[in-house]
Structure 1
């Protein structure tokens, strides 16, 4: 199992903090039953931190007619909305909620060029609620295919997530399914698609980033 670069920054700090806490617990509570409970909890937390930053090896099947899931998680919304930040028209919104147990890499739903990106500070409502899309801290990235088809992928921080990272900036080229960002500790990704896209997923369906086909595009050549 590979560890994401974001994890290489966080894991040593988390382990140091846990080690300090464990030392305090050992010297103050080792003669009590709760000592074993707390040590088991500390070990479980250490394992969870490592597990969170795992990077699975995946085979990406690229197809210009497909919009791929931008993240692992669960489909929590499929609705028609007015997207007012970039498109300023109606779009199909497909939202994927990521729990702390999901892989948190964010992958490009289509291949092409990054033509827009905007990071906005905001609140930290639970990422599975509807208002998080408009009110939470978020970063919108638009991918544009060679034929002009555009898909907006919006990374949204949740209650626990406090850091949204993007590795691709406007002007960068990216292959469909490649990593473009990462969100720490529970979050959400909203995809905004052309209205004539044919959605291929259902509410509460589990998704695999870079593999699950979220929709079929009718604008692609």
Structure 2
């Protein structure tokens, strides 16, 4: 369930600039009797507004689940025998491709503490390329249990051919809730969710399926004592008001 349209603070500079430029171009079109330009101008503005939309969402509150870190389509579900961020333990990776028409705000898949944030410079190849996640610019957010200290999940933000800006809105050692906004990738990109095999009970999605960040349950996991909000309403209020609507450092 989503609330009415609102715009993301992560793209505030872009959508404010787009609105101002569109208004100026529309005024010039009217002034010089170029009415036929009005429609393409506002179609371009509508595209920008649509891209930077950031609806509030009612986050699922049941225990033992991991939700999608972004909107998009599942392009790969695969196992990794030894995943270094999880102390070289086995993991499962669920990869999500975001087109330019998806909501591009990223959300936390579960409750946890941000153990580390690792940004790796790289190329900007097409994110439909299976190797893009290893060669493109990327940002890895590793999450651990707040008290027990073991890895619970990792989210990797991957820049694409058009996406040249990765916004990360969380800091190391912060404790975040399931569904909380953690950043954004601008103009088409990929996110990956990594779950330790020791915690994974069942993947609940399949390749080709469309998902929504913070709403779609990607996997059932062993329940942790995370002090999650007990009701869907509390979850939505907690997660959607905890991230300031300001432009993050890039």
Please indicate the TM-score interval, normalised by the length of the shorter structure: 0.7 to 0.9
Q: Structure 1 regions of 5+ residues with no counterpart?
A: none
The residue that corresponds to 1:217 in the other structure is 221
Cα RMSD between the aligned structures? 2.4
2:18 and 2:116 mapped to 1: Cα distance? 34
Q: Structure 2 regions of 5+ residues with no counterpart?
A: 226-250
The residue that corresponds to 2:40 in the other structure is 41
TM-score normalised by the chain length of structure 2: 0.77
Equivalent position to 1:173, from 168, 175, 178:
175
3-state SS of paired residue (1:127): coil
Q: How many residues align?
A: 216
How far 1:21 sits from its partner (Å)?
6.3
How far 1:14 sits from its partner (Å)?
2.6
TM-score normalised by the chain length of structure 1: 0.87
How far 1:44 sits from its partner (Å)?
1.1
2:151 and 2:114 mapped to 1: Cα distance? 12
1:186 and 1:86 mapped to 2: Cα distance? 26
3-state SS of paired residue (1:54): coil
How far 1:8 sits from its partner (Å)?
2.0
Q: Does 1:200 align with 2:199?
A: no
3-state SS of paired residue (2:115): strand
2:156 and 2:77 mapped to 1: Cα distance? 15
3-state SS of paired residue (1:124): coil
**Residues 28, 68 of structure 1: CA spacing in aligned structure 2 closer, same or farther, 3 A cutoff?**
same
Q: Does 1:144 align with 2:180?
A: no
5 Å-filtered alignment, 1:11-50, equals 11-18=15-22, 30=34, 36=36, 39-50=38-49
Which range moved further: 164-173 or 12-21? 12-21
How far 1:55 sits from its partner (Å)?
1.6
